[in-house]
Amino acid sequence: MHSMKSSLIPLLFVLHLPGPLLPAVRAQGIFDYERAPINYHKQPAANAITRLQEKIDAGSIKLEFRGPRGYLDSFLKHLDIPVSTQALVFSKSSAQLRLISPSYPRALYFKENLYVGWVQGGEALEIIAADPMLGSVFYTLKQREVKRPRLVRDKGQCLQCHGASRTKDVPGPMVRSLYTGSDGQPIFNFGFFVSDHDSPFFERWGGYYVTGTHGAMRHMGNMLAEREGGLRDVDYKAGANVTDLGKLVNTRPYPSRHSDIVALMVLEHQSQMQNLITRARYQEIRGEYYDKALDPEQGFRSELTRRLVRRAGEELVRYMLFSDEFQLASPVKGTSGFSEEFSGKGPHDKRGRSLYELDLDKRLFKYPLSYMIYTQGFRQLPAMTAAYVSRRLGAVLTAKEVGDEFPKLGLESRKAILEILRDTLPEFTRTWQ
């Protein structure tokens, strides 16, 4: 995920806030979510993991511990996380890095509001939950059989990687692509990339196993780099169009034999979209907090706060409409059944269409508006941000001409997306012409 440009907000507040507030403002960077008003670790979480823990404590759900995968299979089942989303990562880019290698990759699984990582012989499952108020919250579940297991919230260790520019300066997931040696160690001096749907294909999935076909396009998956040779010796062809991982790694310990290319593409899109939702929330909360310091009168909103909301909201709108999406040069096809399973999800409009439908010929989705619009986090955005995003989406989707702002989004696509939203999110589109 691409780093954000640094904000001018701390300087602006130093210049305009009354004297007594200056020390606090100088001490707090604009992306410091540990302090007021975000207070990330001081705020209680409420998400799929906290709800699961409540059910475990009440005895209404029992996580079963089975064999070498421990709680993994039961966790996926109870939280309805598809096994077809499995991605195998062999770069040492996890807290349990000592156990990860090309022979023993870490497995990742996901759905709209959850991500879970499993390492063979690891001491814990690693979990990220989308929280509508806090953004992303990190948990571990110890791989030790007990009557009522505890999902423990991270106290800050995860944020060393998952809370900086690579995640839009908010706590969140990311898909990182690393040139990786035969021992699983990233070769950082070769460079690395954080991927989303805008990323060139050849920058994606370094340190991942990837199953699927993609024609003449090349990616960084399925291949090892040599430190001595340098980038000029990296053979991108070696990892291309792999449909069976059997020659590369033993997949028998895993729930699936696949590391599906389409699931990885969706994961890239979703992780960045989630971070942009969180960022937009944080920006409005910060603006409101400082506006109250400037003028306690209820409802006051400064021009600076409006600017913050517009900037974060505009970036969110552009991303969710895939305005800078990398155009596929060849059709992409996965191997695990993920594409069919994901494309069948709803809600559907009266004509049976869904924002989950995949294209995979020239672009990722058939109807290029993020399905994350249905998530709790998006639908509970703060008032100013929600209003701005709604107005902008309405203006784009009801436009009579393509115009210069979203030239890739044709009128037919806009019409289809609009019809899908009117049937599936009527309260969101009610004010649109």
pLDDT tens-digit series, residues 179-203: 999 999 999 999 999 999 999 999 9
209-223 burial: b if 16+ Cβ within 10 Å, else e = bbbbbbeebbbbbbb
Instruction: Say which residues have a Cβ less than 8 Å from residue 313's Cβ, sequence separation at least 6.
Output: 280, 385, 388, 389, 392
Q: Give the CA-trace dihedral at 329, 241, 119, 77, to 10 degrees.
A: 80
User: Is 181:299 a contact under the CB 8 Å cutoff?
Assistant: no
**pLDDT tens digits, one per residue of 144-188:** 999 999 999 998 788 777 888 889 989 999 999 999 999 999 999
Least confident of 7-11, 233-237, 343-347: 7-11
Among the listed residues 343, 189, 344, 317, the one whose alpha carbon sits nearest the alpha carbon of residue 265: 343
Mean pLDDT, rounded, of the chain? 91
Q: Quick one: 57 exposed, middle or buried, by C-beta within 10 A (0-12, 13-18, 19+)? A: exposed
CA 300 to chain centre: 33
Give dist(CA 32, CA 164) in Å, integer.
10
Percent of the chain exceeding pLDDT 90 equals: 81
Residue 211 has pLDDT above 60, yes or no: yes
**pLDDT tens digits, one per residue of 44-87:** 999 999 999 999 999 999 999 999 999 999 999 999 999 999 99
**pLDDT tens digits, one per residue of 310-322:** 999 999 999 999 9
- At residue 6, the pLDDT reads 29
Q: How many Cα atoms occupy the beta-carbon half-sphere of 185 within 13 Å? A: 6
- At residue 398, the pLDDT reads 96
Q: Is the Cα dihedral 424, 425, 429, 431 positive or negative?
A: positive
- At residue 228, the pLDDT reads 84
* DSSP H helices in 79-226: 159-162
Question: Span 329-353, mean pLDDT?
Answer: 98
**pLDDT tens digits, one per residue of 364-387:** 999 999 999 999 999 999 999 999
Residue 27 has pLDDT above 60, yes or no: no
> Could you please report the per-residue DSSP string of 372-396?
GGGSHHHHT--HHHHHHHHHHHHHH
Question: Span 204-231, mean pLDDT?
Answer: 94
Angle at 51 between CA 122 and CA 271, to 5 degrees: 60
Q: Give the CA-trace dihedral at 392, 393, 398, 402, to 10 degrees.
A: 80
Residue 29 has pLDDT above 60, yes or no: no
Q: How many Cα atoms occupy the beta-carbon half-sphere of 404 within 13 Å? A: 0
Question: Span 317-337, mean pLDDT?
Answer: 98
Token code pair at residue 31: 């992306």
Q: Model confidence at 299, in pLDDT bands (50, 70, 90)?
A: confident
- At residue 7, the pLDDT reads 30
Q: How many Cα atoms occupy the beta-carbon half-sphere of 223 within 13 Å? A: 24
Name the residue with tokens 């989406």. 393
User: Is 127:140 a contact under the CB 8 Å cutoff?
Assistant: yes
**pLDDT tens digits, one per residue of 95-107:** 899 999 999 999 9
C-beta atoms surrounding 361 within 10 Å: 10
- At residue 317, the pLDDT reads 98
- At residue 209, the pLDDT reads 98
292 phi, psi to nearest 5 deg? -65, -30
Token code pair at residue 433: 């012409």
How many helices (H) and strands (E) in the chain? 12, 9
Residue 25 has pLDDT above 70, yes or no: no
User: Is 198:320 a contact under the CB 8 Å cutoff?
Assistant: no
Q: Is 307 helix (H, G, I), strand (E, B) or coil?
A: helix
Among the listed residues 60, 135, 130, 123, the one whose alpha carbon sits nearest the alpha carbon of residue 96: 123
